[in-house]
Amino acid sequence: MSARFSRFRFATAAVVSFGAGVIFASGMDWTKISWAQSSGARAPQVRGPMAPEGASFADIAERVTPGVVAVNTSRTARPRPQVRGRAPQGMEDFLEQFGGQQPRQQRGEGSGFILSNDGYIVTNNHVVADADQVSITLSDGRSFRARVIGTDSTTDVAVVKIEARSLPTLTIGNDETTRIGEWVLAVGNPLGLDFTVTAGIISAKGRGSEINLPNSGNFTISDFIQTDAAINPGNSGGPLINMRGEVIGLNSAIASQTGFYSGYGFAIPITLVKNVADALIKDGRVRMPVMGVSVTRVDPEDAGINGLAKVAGVKVAGFNPPDGGPAKDAGIEVGDVIITVDGKPVDRVSSLQRIVRMRRIGDVIPVEVMRFGSKKAFRVKLVDAEAGGALAVNTATPNPTANPAAGKLGMSVEALPEEIATRLRTNGIGVRVSEVADNGPARDKIAAGSDVLLEVLYPAPRRPIRSVNDLQTAIATLKDGDYVSLLVQSLDPRVGRRVVNIRVGD
């Protein structure tokens, strides 16, 4: 996905961005853009598919549009004048207080939908974050000042409230039962065009770490519904509607090289949105349950060494905090592949994040893992993220370029230099990878010069690597097609520790 699109952008509109990646759209007469106009040829009439109860696109659009709102925000900002380096030393702070630049009014636009008839409205966090003033315009033209009830940056969900009664609401559906290929409608206010409806299909589900959204962090939940219904700047916070007229997603981002619709948009699943919105309405904030694990995606070697019939699940790369946490305390080990949580299959990092996020702090959930061909079951008590830990942090895998080297694993190792051993506090454990063969089994998995091999996890018995001979002994009997599992420490603190599974002879 990342190779196909140069960047992922929030589908909001703003004169001046409130955060990185926000698209500028308001303040322009988008209706006069020539490339959006008809060429003069009459388009063929197309009838929409019929919903189970016999409703067409037009019927559904007419029914749901009254529950969709326009969200307008403003924020006053005083840019700091550029006097640094041009003023006498020691006078910069004084002069900046009297800079000639005037405060600027920053305005933004987005969408939302009415959750309850007494005025609770759902939108995106990035639409209202840092706004001084939020106003809501209904489809009937009425406008209200809104107050922000709560926001959650990890899911990009926010709730605002207007003082009104008997408002039209939208019906909440179940995104988990939707299927790829089903028709959907996106409703919102793109490009300054109020209450626009576009149609498309669900083109994918569970889009996760391949979507690198702006301002993402360790706790960011990436589990999107992908659609080809046109979503443009200004659509952020609007609903994605199924053919029963139910909300199944909250439109949030677009994949584009230009900042405008290029074929794909992304919506947050409504079951997650509703869970977060309920917490924001009740408490004004979201308490996040976590397992305390860092995980990575499973590759073919991980699946092979653990006896999985297909490439699925998530691999445990470490714990947070490193010396404890609920998952480690329950008996889960580095290198385990999590295959089910709470009775639900886990096929990727995003599905694990979502399952855990839907539970409550203090819940004890069953977790099944595969450990080198054996299935093991544990019960993990979820704790509050504020007390430390990680929900399911995706750990990066390096893609090194190295010189050719010999050996069964396609890499050469050397004794760990004393200064590195002291810095990593390995207590005499570890050898450094000095070379990796371009065409060897360790290519794209191990980084020469920056990776330290700490342990052989498989084949049994699990053992530390204290010397080059320790590693040679551990892999001496391996044949082509066999697997080895290694605990690896990167010298890059952003990568940290991870489990690397390698198939000999590949």
CB 480 within 8 A of CB 505: yes
N residues, the chain: 506
CB 475 within 8 A of CB 408: yes
Q: Tokens 């065409």 — which residue? A: 439
CA 445/CA 398 separation, integer angstroms: 6
Q: What are the residue numbers of the active site?
A: 126, 156, 236
CA 29/CA 446 separation, integer angstroms: 53
Q: Tokens 């000999």 — which residue? A: 504
Tell me which long-range contacts 455-461 makes (C-beta under 8 A, separation of at least 24). Answer: 455/429, 455/486, 455/487, 456/484, 456/485, 456/486, 457/334, 457/335, 457/372, 457/485, 457/486, 457/487, 457/499, 458/305, 458/335, 458/372, 458/483, 458/484, 458/485, 458/501, 459/483, 459/484, 460/372
β-bridge pairing 239-241 and 289-290 = unpaired
Closest by CA to 425, choosing from 500, 501, 324, 497, is 497
CB 125 within 8 A of CB 112: no
CB 250 within 8 A of CB 47: no
* Per-position DSSP letters for 15-42, written without gaps between them: SS-SSTTEEP-TTS-GGG-GGGS--SSP
The tokens for 262 are 């290029």
* Per-position DSSP letters for 368-398, written without gaps between them: EEEETTEEEEEEEE-EEGGGS--S-EEPP--
Peptide bond before residue 321 is cis, with ω within 30 degrees of 0: yes
The CA-to-CA distance between both ends of the chain, in Å, stands at 26
SS3 367: strand
φ, ψ for residue 302, nearest 5 deg = -60, -45
Query: Cα–Cα distances in Å, from 89 out to 79, 86, 97, 297, 470?
Result: 21, 9, 15, 52, 60
CA 1/CA 4 separation, integer angstroms: 5
Q: Tokens 């979502």 — which residue? A: 354
DSSP class of 188: E
**E strand residue ranges, 162-292:** 171-172, 183-188, 196-207, 224-227, 239-241, 246-256, 264-269, 289-290
